[in-house]
Structure 1
Amino acid sequence: MGSAGLARLQGLFAVYKPPGLKWLHLRDTVERQLLNGLNAGKPPAPEQRVRFLLGPVEGSEKKELMLTATSVPSLTTHRLVRGPAFTSLKIGVGHRLDVQASGVLVLGVGHGCRLLTDMYDAHFTKHVSREKLDRILAVIQGSHQKALVMYSNLDLQSQEAYEMAVGGMLRPMNKSPMLITGIRCLHFEPPEFLLEVQCMHETQQQLRKLVHEIGLELKSSAICRQVRRTRDGFFTLDDALLRTQWDLHSIQDAIQDAAPRVVAELRKNLRSGVDSQQLPSAEQPQHSKGPSSTVQGGSCAKH
């Protein structure tokens, strides 16, 4: 496997993080599995070196010794001498999930860590699930839409701003607070409700606080029972590798399958000010660092 296997690991892939597992523990588990896979390959044949060894003279009845040139294997490259060929990997974690949250977690390997930054700069929205009251949700979405326009630094009277707004392509130019681009109720059966939220630059704590504030607006109380990310940028639950798939070959295949989509989506979403020539082609190994996501959550309200 060796260097050839490592070359196929350069890029992005997604895993499914179960609740109760720390993202750092997940990352370390993935690294350990990859290192085991890379080091499990058959080692190359040892190099040969010439040594002059003392030995009896052939055909001589006397006990004479002479030096003879002999080819022997060199042990300096033997695995038992030098240790495993791969001892660490550069693995970056995209938009992190806290311990209790579950869902899509994007990771980058090697040069793929640079693409995590590109994903962040592209400002992909993230889905989150919780609950409803159409009137309150409409007010929340409207206020966040105005904030999104402000942080996009666009002239509202320009044709560019109009076309980007119609196409749903408005993105903040720089850092911003959590911005919600879409929110709707998927299920409403008091006291339970389920919300789907499309957002960017959020944390799970802010999402839980959002559910609490919705309860206050309803002159009631609401708590978030579960957060589940269902999309991170262009990675969805269908792309997320289950824990049984966190091995070398599955991750290599996932990176290669995602590579054309990674390049296409980043070129489409990055602003014109970003040099798209720096992005890798879909035929080359990928690079990465930085994310965006989708989350789903459950909540309950008391009236």
Structure 2
Amino acid sequence: MLKAAAAEVAAKQATSRLISAALSMNGVFAVNKPPGISCTGLLDYFKRNIGRGAAAVPFEKHYEQEKELRASGNKIRRRRYSLNLRVGHGGTLDVEAAGVLIVGVNKGCKLLGEYLNCGKSYLASARLGVATESCDAEGIITKIANPDSVTGEMLNAVIPKFVGSIEQMPPVYSAIKVDGKRLYDYARGGHEIPPGIKKRQVSVSSIKMLFFDNPHTQEQLGRRVILPVEYSDYFDHNRYRWTGDAGTMKVGNLMIPFANNPDLPFFQLLVQSGSGVYIRSLIDDMGAEIGCGATMTSLLRTSQGPLRLDHDTINVEDLAYVDRVIGAIRHTDNIIQHNIGRQQAKV
């Protein structure tokens, strides 16, 4: 019994030391955000579980709880944290988007502005012939048009119109605040969107069409990018799984069951942009320019600033371990210092 009590005391002391180490962390790191959870929900997991290691709440359980909260339709109210840990992120990714999310810890939060304004790269997939109110597969269908005659050449022809400094209307389902309230709160609550929302000046560095497939003409251009299994399982076999039994696609329907309808022409884009660009709005505008509409079906942020998805991110399961987060912060610091050294060498 004494041994068991001593072991319990030792475990509590070890946890206390880890939590103290977590509270003293300062810096920035990148995490691989999975689709299906908000950035706020992911940071909530981090704050509640950092330092708990193997005793942390499994991320899958937290993920399901977040999903239930969103499905309730009520405003999400979170319990207060016991840790005085300051955490923020350097640029929102939509709930259904995935990839690089920059996280700041304590004093590192002051550095997040640099990442908000830096360049970003995205891999986006989309379908032609349909448009939605949210510009992605989560929304209600607002337009259906015959896309059978659309060619890869037609798509490539409109791309230059959306490169450079362009004006973009933010989607109604977005985190932009109007009169102190986010646009998506107006939309989800069924409230009228305030008038006077203006187009914003944004910068798109480049757009490259990676793949185009029109099943009606049998035209294929490029090579389809196969997403890593953790993303393809979600986008292709889970959230947007095509069953063929959803009936006829109609205006007013949810797009979700039709997102992977193989009768709709499919394309993939690699987009490099500055801050404030909504990729789903970009695709919606391209579809309007072609005339048949287009809807984004998946989005993966592949880089932000110098941090790349395949080399510089940790997984959500790592967020409970202080040593892994500290290692990620040091890794980011090394990349930044290396880039500073390269820039100084050019002067």
Quote the offset at 1:145 in angstroms. 4.9
Summarize the Cα distance change of 1:245–1:253 in structure 2 as closer, same or farther, 3 Å threshold: same
Aligned residue identity for 2:124: S
Aligned residue identity for 2:113: T
Quote the offset at 1:90 in angstroms. 0.9
Aligned residue identity for 2:121: K
Match of 1:92 among 88, 92, 106: 88
Secondary structure of the structure 1 residue equivalent to 2:271: strand
Question: Aligned residue for 1:245?
Answer: 318
Question: Aligned residue for 1:183?
Answer: 207
Instruction: Tell me whether 1:254 sits opposite 2:309 in the alignment.
Output: no
* TM-score normalised to structure 2 length: 0.49
Within a 5 Å distance, the mapping from 1:90-239 to structure 2 comes to 90-121=86-117, 123-130=118-125, 133-141=155-163, 144-145=164-165, 177-190=201-214, 191-203=265-277, 206-238=278-310, 239=312
Summarize the Cα distance change of 1:7–1:212 in structure 2 as closer, same or farther, 3 Å threshold: closer
Note the alpha carbon deviations across 1:45-80, whole angstroms, 9 max, x for none: xxxxxxxxxxxxxxxxxxxxxxxxxxxxxxxxxxxx
CA RMSD of aligned residues (A): 3.0
Secondary structure of the structure 2 residue equivalent to 1:184: strand
Secondary structure of the structure 1 residue equivalent to 2:330: helix
Instruction: Tell me whether 1:28 sits opposite 2:41 in the alignment.
Output: no
Q: Distance in 2 between matches of 1:229 and 1:2?
A: 31
Runs of 4+ in 1 over 4 A off after TM superposition: 266-269
Quote the offset at 1:108 in angstroms. 0.8
Question: Aligned residue for 2:145?
Answer: none
Q: Distance in 2 between matches of 1:105 and 1:183?
A: 21
Task: Report the identity percentage.
Answer: 27
Secondary structure of the structure 2 residue equivalent to 1:100: coil
Quote the offset at 1:36 in angstroms. 3.2
Secondary structure of the structure 1 residue equivalent to 2:283: helix
Secondary structure of the structure 1 residue equivalent to 2:201: coil
Summarize the Cα distance change of 1:215–1:89 in structure 2 as closer, same or farther, 3 Å threshold: same
Secondary structure of the structure 1 residue equivalent to 2:46: helix
Quote the offset at 1:10 in angstroms. 1.4
Quote the offset at 1:13 in angstroms. 0.8
Within a 5 Å distance, the mapping from 1:46-85 to structure 2 comes to none
Tell me if the contact between 1:182 and 1:198 (Cα under 8 Å) persists in the aligned partners.
Answer: yes
Aligned residue identity for 1:108: G
Quote the offset at 1:235 in angstroms. 1.3
Question: Aligned residue for 2:246?
Answer: none
Q: Distance in 2 between matches of 1:8 and 1:260?
A: 19
Note the alpha carbon deviations across 1:199-241, whole angstroms, 9 max, x for none: 11235xx321211221222222211111211111111112221
Q: Distance in 2 between matches of 1:117 and 1:219?
A: 38
Summarize the Cα distance change of 1:23–1:120 in structure 2 as closer, same or farther, 3 Å threshold: closer
Quote the offset at 1:186 in angstroms. 0.7
Secondary structure of the structure 2 residue equivalent to 1:177: strand
Tell me if the contact between 2:47 and 2:83 (Cα under 8 Å) persists in the aligned partners.
Answer: no
Q: Distance in 2 between matches of 1:106 and 1:218?
A: 35
Secondary structure of the structure 2 residue equivalent to 1:250: helix
Aligned residue identity for 1:23: C
Q: Distance in 2 between matches of 1:115 and 1:33?
A: 23
Quote the offset at 1:35 in angstroms. 4.5
Quote the offset at 1:187 in angstroms. 0.9
Aligned residue identity for 2:112: L
